[in-house]
Structures are given as structure tokens and as C-alpha cells.
Amino acid sequence: MEVRLKILYTSLCHTDVFFWEAKGQNPLFPRILGHEAGGIVESIGEGVTDVEPGDHVLPVFTGECKECVHCKSEESNMCNLLRINTDRGVMIHDEKSRFSINGKPIFHFVGTSTFSEYTVVHVGCVAKINPLAPLDKVCVLSCGISTGLGATLNVAKPPKGSTVAVFGLGAVGLAAAEGARIAGASRIIGVDLNSNRFELAKKFGVTEFVNPKEHNKPVQEVIAEMTDGGVDRSIECTGHIDAMISAFESVHDGWGVAVLVGVPTKDAVFKTHPINLLNERTLKGTFFGNYKPRSDLPSIVEKYMNKELELEKFITHEVPFTEINKAFDYMLKGDGLRCIIRMDG
Ligand SMILES: NC(=O)c1ccc[n+]([C@@H]2O[C@H](COP(=O)([O-])OP(=O)(O)OC[C@H]3O[C@@H](n4cnc5c(N)ncnc54)[C@H](O)[C@@H]3O)[C@@H](O)[C@H]2O)c1
Ligand SMILES: CCCCCCO
Ligand SMILES: [Zn+2]
Ligand SMILES: [Zn+2]
């Protein structure tokens, strides 16, 4: 059930950085990071029937076996067999790694490990896509852009004309904002500690900006004042617990819905007074925007091919693989959105 992929393009998501730093995550080294990518099937293993060598594919950090109760549910993408597991550094079939140096194993990362010219993944973690789709563009759909878009369209579901706040204006957050724009939100309020994000955010429909550092009161109070009691929907895309709590407490009582997307540190605790829930605010979360990777990704790629979805505006840098550290530098400096890493260089 495994396939070997030749990775042509990969890009850096902040999740890679969090697990590379391993400050708030369990360390598991040496491991090959990377999970947002595009490539071609180089060879297939026993049991594989859905793809064949030469197919263009997107690997995904959370898979779809199509057999379990989650895969058969219309509401869940949390596959029992292949759902995301950040602490597993081996393949599920034999609990061994497919990578080694001098006989010593190198661990996998979320079943993808795309910072490599070749990688091995479970076929359930591979979405076969239109071979005409440019892999250096659609690779960003294999994580961040689909996640942000889906967090809004599939999970927050803002009604037309509603108000939406997006916390964290990186690629994932701006994909969430794009989802709000597509859904017809009347106001999209961007929240970020880095005011340099605000200019670029305008391209994604963000029209109002709040930097929590510029206020001497909690940002949820600032947003409540701006919106007569709170926004209808909020999406958090930062990975920081303070922003998660603020995103929840910034939605309107009675009907507001907050969606958590950011990857929390292992010791994070979500603290809010229960009355904030009793007042009929709803708190949700999502991996991969609730998309089923193999079933849904091909049609999202088609939306891009049909010019119903823009991806170029999420791509701000490109480097050869030999200069991958520049991608980390850009992200750690908050410079740009997605940096494409070309595996041919
Ligand atoms: N749930 C999922 O399936 C999924 C998928 C992809 C990424 N993620 C997570 O989404 C988050 C965003 O990823 P990204 O690649 O867009 O990262 P990014 O670094 O490009 O963007 C994050 C943004 O959040 C801002 N920020 C940080 N702390 C903040 C705070 N307290 N208040 C307001 N803004 C704050 C940063 O300034 C930055 O602009 C990360 O935590 C990543 O791990 C989750
Ligand atoms: C808990 C890790 C979630 C990772 C999502 C892919 O960026
Ligand atoms: Zn990611
Ligand atoms: Zn399943």
C-alpha cells in the first residue's frame, strides 16, 4: 500500500518550522520534514491500484483510507487509519522507516517527508490530480491553502454578508480570508502582531486590521467594539494559545462560531470561562480544512485550472533545494507567504 514519489516542488508551512524547532512539540530526530508538495509517482508497491507510475500527485499529511467510519462519514476527514500523527516517524505497515544513512534510520514526518528528492508514502495519503496542473503552483494546495480555505468554507461557514475575523495573516490565514471573500462576507478583519502583513492581506479581501500590540485592552474587546458585540465567525491561524482564546472570545454571543486551525504547543491549555460557551458561542477546530484529501483535492485543483481559485498570490518566494534554509529564514522573519522549494536545484 505504499508508493514512492519523485518530489518536484515542495514548500514550507509553519508546521514544519514548529517541528524543526521542537520547542513546543515532541522532538523526533533525525527526520525528514516537509509535507506541502507536488510530485510524480515513481513506483508503486504491493496492493496499490489507485495510482500508477507517472501520475501527478499531491501528498497530504492526513490521509483517507476510504473504508473507515470517518472516511464513510460526510462530516469527517479524520481517517482512523491515516489521520495525522506527528509523533509517528515510521510507516504504519511495518513500523520501519524507508529512509536511512549508513544503515541508521531517518524518521518520517506526518507520513510525507517531502524535503527529499524521493519519498515513500501510504497510497491513502496521495491525491491523484490533473497532470496539466503546474506542480510549482498547486503544491500549496496539499496543506496550507486548502486548510485555510476549508476552515472557512467547510467549518466556519460564514453566511453571505457576515463579519469574519482572521487571526494570523500568513498563508493559511489569508487562505481563510480568501474563503470569507468567496463566501461573500461583508467585513473581513485581519488580526496579526506583524503590521507588515496588512498591505498584502488586502489582496485577499481583508479590509480592516487590528494589531493586538497597539491596544491596551484584549483584542477580543477591540473587535467587540468594532462590530457591536463580536464577529459572526472567526478563524485562528497562528498556533498561539492567546490568539486561539481571543479568536473564540471575539465571536458574537448567540450565534458566533470560532474555528481553530493553528498547531498548539504540546502543553497548551485553552482557558475560557464556561459562560462564554453558555452564551451560545461555538468553538470548532479542523485539520486540512475538513477536506477529504483523495476525494476533494482533485476538484480543488480543477477550480485553480478553471481560474475559479487564485494560487499565485500566495507564492512570494522560490528557492532551489540547496537554499532551503532561506525558506526557513523568510518564515521566521514573517517575510512573505509561501516559498516554493525547487527540488531540481
Ligand atoms: N490544522 C491544520 O490542518 C493546519 C494546516 C496548516 C497549518 N497549520 C497551522 O496554521 C498556523 C499558520 O500557518 P502558516 O504557515 O500560515 O504560518 P505563518 O507563520 O506564515 O503565519 C502565522 C501568522 O500568525 C501571526 N501570529 C503569531 N502569533 C500571533 C498572535 N498571538 N496574534 C496574532 N497573530 C499572530 C504571525 O505574525 C504570522 O503572520 C500554524 O500554527 C500552522 O502550524 C495547521
Ligand atoms: C498537529 C500538526 C498539524 C499539522 C498540519 C499540517 O500543517
Ligand atoms: Zn502544513
Ligand atoms: Zn479512513
* pLDDT for 116 beyond 90: yes
Atom nearest to 12 CA in ligand 1: 15
Q: What is the mean pLDDT of the chain?
A: 98
Residue 337 has a pLDDT of 98
Ligand 1 pocket test, pick from 11, 12, 15, 270 with the greatest ligand atom count within 8 Å of Cβ, gives: 15
Predicted TM-score (pTM) of this structure: 0.98
Residue 345 has a pLDDT of 72
* pLDDT for 149 beyond 90: yes
Mean pLDDT of 198-227: 97
Our answer to whether residue 139 is catalytic in this structure is no
Atom nearest to 61 CA in ligand 1: 3
**Per residue in 262-302, pLDDT tens?**
999 999 999 999 999 999 999 999 999 999 999 999 999 99
Quickly state the pLDDT bin for 35 (edges 50, 70, 90): very high
- The alpha carbons of the chain give a radius of gyration, in whole angstroms, of 20
**Per residue in 161-183, pLDDT tens?**
999 999 999 999 999 999 999 99
What is the C-alpha separation between 202 and 206, in angstroms, rounded? 5
**Per residue in 58-105, pLDDT tens?**
999 999 999 999 999 999 999 999 999 999 999 999 999 999 999 999
DSSP string, 282-330: EEEE-SGGG--HHHHHHHHHHHHHTTSS--GGGEEEEEEGGGHHHHHHH
Q: What single-letter DSSP state applies at residue 267?
A: T
Residue 102 has a pLDDT of 96
Does the CA dihedral 51-48-145-29 come out positive or negative? negative
State if residue 250 touches ligand 1 by the CB under 6 angstroms criterion.
no
Ligand 1 pocket test, pick from 11, 13, 222 with the greatest ligand atom count within 8 Å of Cβ, gives: 13
Does the CA dihedral 7-8-13-17 come out positive or negative? positive
Our answer to whether residue 125 is catalytic in this structure is no
Distance 274 CA to ligand 3 centre (A): 31
